[in-house]
Structure 1
């Protein structure tokens, strides 16, 4: 089991390089980044959470291009992995997404985890001009095309949404097949994770939720989840439920981020590593 940091938009941009360096030094497994192209002024009652009709954030929150943002932090870290939490793949042509991820994997030396989803905001799709109803099928096809581009050469494709004659796509990502984790809690998202994903990723779930997801997904799918961890015992509960990686955000304000991840490391990460609960060590 490993512990990652959710480096959200709630941390001021001028602090993020320092947070990334410290998380790398302290032995956290990864940094995870949110992604949206735009925020609609009116969410129309949509939410990524089950049984919740409230938007997840104030749409005026400062937002950055996730993969470019990750590339800047790849330059100031050496070991820690970098993941999207999650990237709305069906809003992009697969050439665009595959090239950006390939470039980031080169810059980072093979440290990318590509968390993707079908999206939940109909208004965001409308603003971009992409059909909302077909988003799940688009994700499936985009995943297939991205994987071809990352591993084969030359590549051709003929599908429902994309068709192209042989093309070259070089260089390949250092990892080859970049891990793809599927986000979402719908039946369609869980089915996609089991069929196509290297893992499933959830925003924030209890150990009971994770146990149910593990039963649904089986033992071969990596489970990553946002988690509320206060003690090592909390971490043990997530491990027992079947979580492979947990993502924590242990601060309340940007100015507390550095002290909070250090305190979390001292109080939870290091004791958990000592007892053999964690698998990640600082380089």
Structure 2
């Protein structure tokens, strides 16, 4: 089992120290969330399934691939992922360039977690159709895949059209992994059809099982990497149960207060047998 660390659950002032500690303690990955912009109109910000705004407009926002490039220079082996990057809010050229740069400067440690997003406010602000975001994301995934792998690319699609272009440098990884985030039927289909894996919302063993069953039915014989946020992981004895469900990576939060994050990671690494540097 691989273990990742969610930086987005901490104040940004702690991200550097936690990422460096994760690298030194043997955690496999660190993950940065993102939004592009927050509207001040909170009527657009109700998170699905709740009655309260899911955002605070004054929350600091960072360009996730750019921030991860900085962390790449401070670390040596931990993988650097987004959970998740709103790929369809940009032209594919922009995101393809950002993640190729991250992969090159990190010597092949980039993981591109993508999602369609839930927050209408930033789509409206960017003057893009919120209701068409899923189809736009699917096409954007196709475009960045080609830019990362083909010598020259021309494209004519529903959302993007451009003449033949060259795109260098390519990512270091032969296939820079793209993981689809989200738990809607469309998100699961995207993971199974277009991506290298799926990244979940927070779950327990019991709550994630139905989603994994749906994903298994959709993917058929395709091998997918499954990443689950498991903030309530109880003990090392629980890990084989996750593995039996087909989970490859758990994103864990072994701290109750942000100030205790590094100490929590240290204890977790010892308890779960991670290899320190």
| Alignment TM-score, normalising by the size of structure 1 | 0.90
The 3-state SS of whatever aligns with 1:185 is coil
* Residue 227 (structure 2) aligned to one of 224, 228, 249: 224
Task: Give 1:11's aligned residue.
Answer: 11
The 3-state SS of whatever aligns with 1:59 is coil
Alignment of 1:85-104 (within 5 A): 85-104=83-102
CA contact (8 A) 1:157 1:163 kept: yes
**RMSD of aligned Cα (Å):** 1.7
Alignment of 1:97-246 (within 5 A): 97-218=95-216, 220-227=223-230, 228-246=232-250
Distance in 2 between residues matched to 1:34 and 1:129, nearest whole Å: 22
Task: Give 2:29's aligned residue.
Answer: 30
Cα shift readout 1:191-239 (whole Å, capped 9, x = no counterpart): 1111111001012012123222222122622110110213113333322
CA spacing shift, 1:112–1:74, aligned 2, 3 Å: same
Gaps of at least 5 residues in structure 2 are none
1:16 Cα deviation from its structure 2 partner: 2.3
Q: Which sits farther off after the overlay, 89-98 or 254-263?
A: 254-263
Distance in 1 between residues matched to 2:54 and 2:120, nearest whole Å: 14
* Residue 58 (structure 1) aligned to one of 56, 59, 70: 56
Cα shift readout 1:85-122 (whole Å, capped 9, x = no counterpart): 00111101000000000001011110011000011111
Gaps of at least 5 residues in structure 1 are 274-280
Task: Give 1:47's aligned residue.
Answer: 47
Distance in 2 between residues matched to 1:28 and 1:152, nearest whole Å: 33
Distance in 1 between residues matched to 2:10 and 2:169, nearest whole Å: 35
| Alignment TM-score, normalising by the size of structure 2 | 0.92
Distance in 2 between residues matched to 1:125 and 1:107, nearest whole Å: 30
CA contact (8 A) 1:182 1:192 kept: yes
**Is 2:253 the counterpart of 1:265?**
no
Q: Which sits farther off after the overlay, 205-214 or 74-83?
A: 205-214
CA spacing shift, 1:150–1:45, aligned 2, 3 Å: closer
